[in-house]
Amino acid sequence: MLEAAAVQALLADNRHIAITGASGWLGCATLDLLARALGDRFAARVSCYGSAARMIDLGEGRVVPQRPLSELSALEAPGVWVLHYAFQTKERAEAMDEAAYRAANQAISGCVIAALGHIDAEAVFVASSGAASKADDPAASPAMRLYGAMKRDDEARFAAWAQAGGRRAVIGRIFNLTGPYMNKHDAYAMASFIRDALGHRPIRVNAPREVVRGYVAIRELMSLVFALLAADGPPGEVVRFDSGGAALELGEVARIVAQALGGGTTERAAVTEPAPDRYVGDSAAYAALLARYGIAPVPLDVQVRETAPWIGRVADPGR
């Protein structure tokens, strides 16, 4: 669940929440949180948009309709908060021609920006990425730099919309998340660790360099996002933050996962390369934001236990 204060704030007003890219991990997790918070008011208060019309299955008999992104401009609702998740991922940057990748993301953000001019949009949350900090990093892969540059462009575009129209923009650079609906189980270390622990296999970290990550729970992140969207501020204010979490080397993350899920074994290969792989936001500033809005940080072992049932169901649908 969202923090109690966030739930109370959502129930206390009648703002409409429109989600773009609703069928992805962040979208589904947000829909689940909103459905639990809003109850029978959910269907009237939340609408979903994506690349095509479809039904989003949240489990437990909950199915949410998604409309084509082009229909966002026809939304008639008061004081809309737009949660903007729609974007071609880094994996698409690896697979697509650069010009085509740029054109696809520009078309998505252009469609959303245009729609904001037609609806009663009060504020927007832009789910950016920690990759934006890698856009000019020569040590990053070409796909990471391209993805990061496009995310950074999105940040600037929506910030300009807010400033020009006296609206509010909250821009979060998201580094590492945990929680239900996590996808890409072969690509994310956390998902892989949990899957090994659930399978009673040793968790192995083979990277020849230090790999440092900081994790936050999706429910914690979204509690902060809703607090920031609702906060008082001057017209045209743009609020930027990084997701935080304790900066831990993956060997320690593996140990915490194993302990949280029954005490399995872990193995850390020798670190033989000097340059660390660090992908962590400004944890101190993030912690200060949580404290300002009375949001309790979710410890990593709790994050693991909350994520594990989802990983287990996906790995074994019969469970």
Q: What is the pLDDT of residue 91?
A: 86
Q: Which residue has the higher pLDDT, 5 or 112?
A: 112
Average pLDDT over residues 108-121: 96
How would DSSP label each residue in 213-273? E-EEEHHHHHHHHHHHHHS---TT-EEEEE-----EEHHHHHHHHHHHTT---EEE-----
Domains of the chain by start residue, with CATH: 4-174 (3.40.50.720)
Q: What is the pLDDT of residue 93?
A: 87
Tokens of 165: 């129209």
Q: What is the pLDDT of residue 209?
A: 95
pLDDT digits (tens, 9 = 90+) for 146-181: 999 999 999 999 999 999 999 999 999 999 999 999
pLDDT digits (tens, 9 = 90+) for 92-106: 888 899 999 999 999
Question: Which amino acid is present at 183?
Answer: N
* Average pLDDT of the residues of the chain: 93
Q: What is the pLDDT of residue 317?
A: 43
For residues 269 and 204, is the Cβ–Cβ distance under 8 A? yes
Q: Which residue has the higher pLDDT, 184 or 44?
A: 44
- For residue 186, what pLDDT band results from cuts at 50, 70 and 90? confident
75 has a pLDDT exceeding 70: yes
Q: Which residue has the higher pLDDT, 188 or 21?
A: 21
- 283: closest CA among 193, 175, 145, 183? 175
- For residue 314, what pLDDT band results from cuts at 50, 70 and 90? low
pTM (predicted TM-score): 0.94
pLDDT digits (tens, 9 = 90+) for 266-294: 999 999 999 999 999 999 999 999 999 99
Q: Which residues pair with 170 in a beta bridge?
A: 125, 239
- For residue 90, what pLDDT band results from cuts at 50, 70 and 90? confident
